[in-house]
Amino acid sequence: MKLLKYSAASVCAVFLFVGGAVAAPLGTIPFIDTQFLRIILDLRSDLWRSPYSYKASPIRIINGEFRIPVAYGDSWNISANISNESLSLSNTEFHVADRDVFIGNNLQTQSIGLGINKTFSDSSVLMFMGAYATASDNPYAEPRDRWFEGNLVYRSKSLGSYKYILAVNQSANRGLANDRPFPYLGVIFQPNDNFEVHVGFPFMRILWQKENDWRRIAHVTPFGAYFDIEKNLTDDFVYHGRAEYAIRSYLYKNRLEDETRLYFQEMSLEGGIRKELTVTTTVGLALGYAFDRRLYESRSVYEPREAKTALDSDLYGRLRLEFNL
């Protein structure tokens, strides 16, 4: 076994859109990162347009992530990941599930785990990611608020323009069929370097781009959706825009039943720029608008027990720092 030197290796993204990915909205793609020791800090805060409404303070989302390459061989690598996302709601007293409840104003999604990637002689790939995770206003405090998050993914060799995916996800915070293994299967179609489609049960992703032109990604799962655009500008600036529908899920402390989850959903539109300041440091700034915010309790992501609690829409600002060391 060789200890990883952070100068040369490849980044391997999991081509599967599993629900229950930690430290992010449901339906986020997990990564096995083998190239750098990577530190990501992301701060998003409402600009508080309406201080006299139900919102007592800005809604903030703060995310920190450490991706740590550990070791590698000629055809395999291991990477560690430590992440924490904190959602601060605008209040602590909410009417949820036909009752008034106290929700701690620091809902955290945390995980620590390992990812293992093996490439076989025919270029097929087997990936495993496992993490100890929690998502609560009282993280790791009770056994019912923490779980093992696991993903096993097989991607076949290329068969013409096609590759096939078979995977299993285990999660207590997926949004549906919690605490049970959930299968995924699909196909990747890539006729050329500028166009790629991932489609299957239950996900879809389309990427299309042209050299020195716009790059576009459309991503849809049962747990959320987004559409991204990017374009390189002069002086190493990159413009990016995003439209997103996102759902976050929490096993909050004051729920009456272990099986219920607290869901926070919102839609957002965002535009911004990022710039590579140095070889190791990238900074991004963005302005966005979040709307159709809802809070509700349910056993499944789309079956609220009563009318959803609405939270105020607002403009927000975002600062993102990324260090590749």
Residue ranges per domain, the chain? 2-324
Residue 214 pLDDT class (50, 70, 90 cuts): very high
Neighbour tally for 251: CB within 10 Å: 26
Q: Would the pTM count as exceeding 0.75? A: yes
Q: How far apart are CA 42 and CA 227, in angstroms?
A: 19
**Alpha-carbon gap, residue 259 to 276, rounded angstroms:** 44
Q: What is the pLDDT of residues 125-176, one digit of tens each?
A: 999 999 999 999 999 989 999 999 999 999 999 999 999 999 999 999 988 8
What does pLDDT average to over the chain?
Answer: 85
pLDDT of residue 50: 56
Q: How far apart are CA 81 and CA 61, in angstroms?
A: 19
**271 has a pLDDT exceeding 80:** yes
Check whether 193 has a pLDDT greater than 60. Answer: yes
**pLDDT-above-70 percentage for the chain:** 86
Indicate the residue type of 312.
Answer: D
> How many CB atoms within 10 Å of residue 137?
22
Closest to 274 (Cα-Cα) out of 16, 20, 42, 28: 42
pLDDT of 295 > 80? The answer is yes
Q: What is the dotted CATH code of the domain comprising 2-324?
A: 2.40.160
Beta bridge partners of residue 321, listed in sequence order? 41, 283
The two structure tokens encoding residue 115: 């990812």
Query: How confident is the model over 296-319, as pLDDT tens digits?
Result: 999 888 888 788 888 889 999 999
Residue whose token pair is 């430290």? 23
Reply yes or no on whether the pLDDT at 62 is more than 90. yes
244 pLDDT exceeds 70? yes
**What was the pLDDT predicted at 7?**
34
Using 50, 70 and 90 to split pLDDT, how confident is the model at 250?
very high
pLDDT at 42 over 80: yes
pLDDT at 21 over 60: no
Residue 62 to residue 49: CA distance in whole angstroms? 20
Residue 150 pLDDT: 93
* Two structure tokens written together for 247: 């759902």
pLDDT at 56: 64
CA torsion 168→24→271→188, rounded to 10°? Answer: -10
* Structure letter (DSSP) for residue 159: B
pLDDT of residue 280: 92
In the chain, % of residues over pLDDT 90 = 59
Of the pLDDT bands very low, low, confident and very high (cuts 50, 70, 90), residue 210 is confident
Q: Alpha-carbon distance 107 to 183, whole Å?
A: 28
Contacts of 95 (CB under 8 A, 6+ apart): 101, 309
- Using the Cα atoms of residue 250, residue 256, residue 258 and residue 261 in order, give the sign of their dihedral: negative
Instruction: Yes or no: say if 40 and 320 are a contact pair by the CB < 8 Å rule.
Output: yes
Distance spanning both ends of the chain, measured CA to CA: 22
Q: Between residues 33 and 259, which one has the greater pLDDT?
A: 259
* Amino acid code (one letter) for 162: Y
What per-residue string of b and e applies to 62-92 under the rule 16 or more CB within 10 Å gives b? bbbbbbbbeebeeeebbbbbebbbbbbbbbe
In this prediction, residue 104 carries a pLDDT of 82
